[in-house]
Amino acid sequence: MYKIVEKKILNPTVTEMKIEAPLVAAKAEPGQFIILRVDEEGERIPLTVAGYDRTAGWVKIIFQAVGSTTEKLAHLEAGEAIQDFAGPLGVPTELDGLSRVLIVGGGVGCAIALPIAEKLHEMGAAVTSVIGFRSRELVILEDEFRAASDELFVMTDDGSYGREGNVCVPITELFDSGEKFDKVITIGPLVMMKFVVAAVRPSGTPCDVSMNPIMIDGTGMCGGCRLTLVKDGKRVTKFACVDGPDFNGYEVDFDEAISRSNMYRDFERKKHEQTCNLFGKGAK
């Protein structure tokens, strides 16, 4: 069992937890993920490592309550424990040799982008961050991004906080003004990443995306997390859990990835509503 040592509510649907897992904390790096089960009857879900403390032996996870498992997890409190916490899995984000980087995070994807920004900042790189949310009440991790960034743009779709518009607005402005970056790293909803890649493409700047599709075992055996990359006109199958989760954004078949991600949306929503009813919250 893995003890929850700290819990924090970041917004109405997003929760941060620190999990006591010294063996995972000893090896974890930005970009990697873990797979957990809440209890013995629970499903396996992947969550990206949002931070870690090797000395204290904890790993931070940040998640949004969108399905049955994340809803159950959100109801646990500090001092309680979860059944399984396996990792770290996946390939760490490649950061060596980067001196000027643009980080783009959307929604809860900012939880994945933050440790990358922090690591780059620690390495002495110049970090420009763009984070986007639907509205003011959903903004998370602003202070942490500000501390890790040389320049920060906060965007909201409705203009209720920061600047109005999506994350592509400042990206386009930066490149139009002649800014140069060694790499763009974007993490968030698939549709957002698709358009970020399109906005960056004219500059020719390398652009990495973090793909977190359906995962089950996390070791490449089930094939649930397969992605299609297009290289030199040829379609190549990769697996996010062992080959990623980071990929060259110019090569990802986003339309296929978006279609696959929607396959279980209705089922997930139904299970979430059932779990909400179980905890007396009612259907959302």
**Do 144 and 198 reside in the same domain of the chain?**
yes
Map tokens 């906005």 to a residue: 199
**Do 118 and 169 reside in the same domain of the chain?**
yes
- 68 located within any domain: yes
- Considering the chain, what is the average pLDDT of its residues? 91
Mean pLDDT calculated for residue range 184-191? 95
**How many angstroms separate the most distant Cα atoms in the chain?**
54
pLDDT at site 215: 74
pLDDT at 126 over 60: yes
- 245 located within any domain: yes
**Do 163 and 258 reside in the same domain of the chain?**
no
**What confidence tens digit (pLDDT) does each residue in 146-161 have?**
999 999 999 999 999 9
d(CA 108, CA 172) in angstroms, rounded, equals 22
pLDDT at 186 over 70: yes
What does pTM read for this prediction?
0.88
Mean pLDDT calculated for residue range 61-68? 90
- 130 located within any domain: yes
Q: Domain range spanning residue 246?
A: 212-264
pLDDT at site 93: 94
**Do 216 and 138 reside in the same domain of the chain?**
no
> Is 247:211 a contact under the CB 8 Å cutoff?
yes
Residue 54 bridge partners (DSSP): none
Q: What percent of the chain has pLDDT over 90?
A: 77
Mean pLDDT calculated for residue range 8-28? 96
Domain count, the chain: 3
**Do 55 and 37 reside in the same domain of the chain?**
yes
The residue ranges of DSSP E strands in 134-179, in sequence order, are 151-156, 163-164
- 279 located within any domain: no
* More confident of the two residues 213 and 248: 248
pLDDT at 272 over 70: no
**What confidence tens digit (pLDDT) does each residue in 199-236 have?**
999 999 999 999 976 677 777 777 878 899 999 889 99
